[in-house]
């Protein structure tokens, strides 16, 4: 239990990915919740771009305005949730929405230098338009959201802030307080950037060797020592495709879901945990019994219920 009222916000974004289907994630998840009778979770709103993303790869310049606009709306929404002393859970949508989620939450607490973020993901999402060219993701914006939150990349995303705080510093995250767990498909440019900044990356080999719990607890203990609040950004592609087949960009050899769900008691009820986001649900790739949606539900329940 968070002790706060939980607000569920969907962000039906597909413009940030080269794949198809994440834009249907929130609606499909909502339908799944209805069928399961999971009455405790209900989306307050599902934000969508005014033009639905086309199938397949998107041109960077065509996608940027849609990614920026939805992030702006999402940023206002999460900012308001924090202002109301509630707990935001954002469900995506591709991972470009992280810019909106955290650009609303972090400045609402004025915690810029004192905010921790645990980013559970197969990817680093830390390319910039420059480094993306040499990587394999073709410049899609879901591969650039963490870089933007750290102050690198497209100006519109780096500088995104809630309207009423326009004069605040655009710095959102101190790299010392960012922890990535589960990385196993990293481009050279983004790896260089994060290493230069000093972001702690737990690559999958280390996670497999030490166990997820050890890495997670270590990140938490650093964050609890050095920050005043923190959030969790969970990309479903961090999990092994056996457990989470319904993602846009599956990567073999992932973290086993059961272990992660078990570990969430370490954060459940912690008043310093102030927000959660779960992204990249791609319903068309789910199993007939919707294994990935069920996993997302167990995960959310393990964290906030």
Q: Under the rule (CB under 5 A), what is the footprint of Mn ion?
A: 95, 121, 123, 125, 235
Closest to 268 in 3D by CA, of 87, 77, 79, 84: 87
162 or 280, CB closer to Mn ion?
280
Smallest separation, CB 127 to Mn ion (Å): 11
DSSP-assigned letter for residue 261: H
For residue 180, the cross-strand partners are: 119, 201
Question: Kind of pairing, strands 178-183 and 200-203?
Answer: parallel
247 or 263, CB closer to Mn ion?
247
116 or 162, CB closer to Mn ion?
116
Which residues, in sequence order, are CB contacts of 222 under 8 Å at separation 6+?
A: 116, 177, 179, 200
121 or 251, CB closer to Mn ion?
121
2 or 17, CB closer to Mn ion?
17
Q: The tokens of 100 are what? A: 């909106």
Packing angle, helices 25-36 and 291-304, rounded to 10: 80
Tokens 């607490």 label which residue?
109
Smallest separation, CB 241 to Mn ion (Å): 15
Packing angle, helices 60-83 and 98-109, rounded to 10: 30
76 or 125, CB closer to Mn ion?
125
Smallest separation, CB 168 to Mn ion (Å): 26
Q: The tokens of 219 are what? A: 């990140």
DSSP-assigned letter for residue 185: S
Smallest separation, CB 124 to Mn ion (Å): 8
Smallest separation, CB 132 to Mn ion (Å): 14
Smallest separation, CB 236 to Mn ion (Å): 9
Smallest separation, CB 146 to Mn ion (Å): 8
Give the CA distances from residue 195 to residues 116, 175, 201, 214, 293, in Å, rounded to whole numbers and listed in that order: 17, 10, 8, 21, 34
| Cα(78)–Cα(273) distance, integer angstroms | 14
121 or 187, CB closer to Mn ion?
121
Cα 192 to chain centroid, rounded: 21
């Amino acid at each position: 239990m968070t002790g706060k009222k939980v607000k569920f916000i969907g962000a039906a974004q597909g413009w940030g990915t080269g794949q198809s289907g994440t834009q249907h994630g929130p609606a499909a998840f909502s339908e799944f919740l209805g069928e399961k009778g999971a009455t405790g979770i209900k989306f307050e709103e599902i934000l969508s771009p005014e033009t639905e993303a086309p199938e397949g790869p998107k041109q960077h310049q065509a996608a940027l305005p849609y990614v920026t606009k939805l992030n702006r709306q999402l940023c206002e929404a999460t900012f308001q949730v924090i202002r109301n002393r509630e707990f935001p859970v954002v469900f995506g949508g591709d991972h470009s929405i992280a810019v909106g989620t955290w650009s609303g939450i972090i400045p609402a607490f004025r915690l810029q230098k004192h905010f921790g973020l645990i980013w559970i993901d197969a990817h680093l999402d830390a390319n910039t338009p420059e480094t993306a060219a040499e990587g394999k993701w073709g410049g899609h914006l879901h591969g650039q959201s963490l870089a933007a939150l750290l102050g690198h990349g497209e100006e519109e995303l780096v500088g995104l802030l809630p309207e009423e705080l326009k004069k605040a510093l655009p710095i959102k995250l101190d790299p010392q307080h960012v922890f990535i767990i589960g990385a196993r498909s990293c481009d050279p440019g983004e790896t260089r950037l994060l290493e230069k900044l000093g972001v702690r990356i737990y690559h999958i080999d280390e996670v497999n060797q030490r166990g997820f719990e050890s890495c997670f607890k270590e990140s938490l203990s650093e964050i609890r020592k050095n920050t005043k609040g923190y959030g969790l950004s969970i990309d479903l592609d961090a999990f092994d495709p056996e457990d989470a087949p319904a993602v846009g960009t599956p990567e073999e050899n992932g973290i086993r879901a059961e272990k992660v769900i078990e570990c969430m008691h370490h954060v459940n009820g912690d008043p310093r945990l102030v927000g959660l986001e779960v992204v990249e649900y791609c319903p068309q790739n789910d199993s007939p019994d919707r294994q990935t949606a069920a996993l997302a539900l167990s995960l959310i329940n393990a964290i906030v219920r």
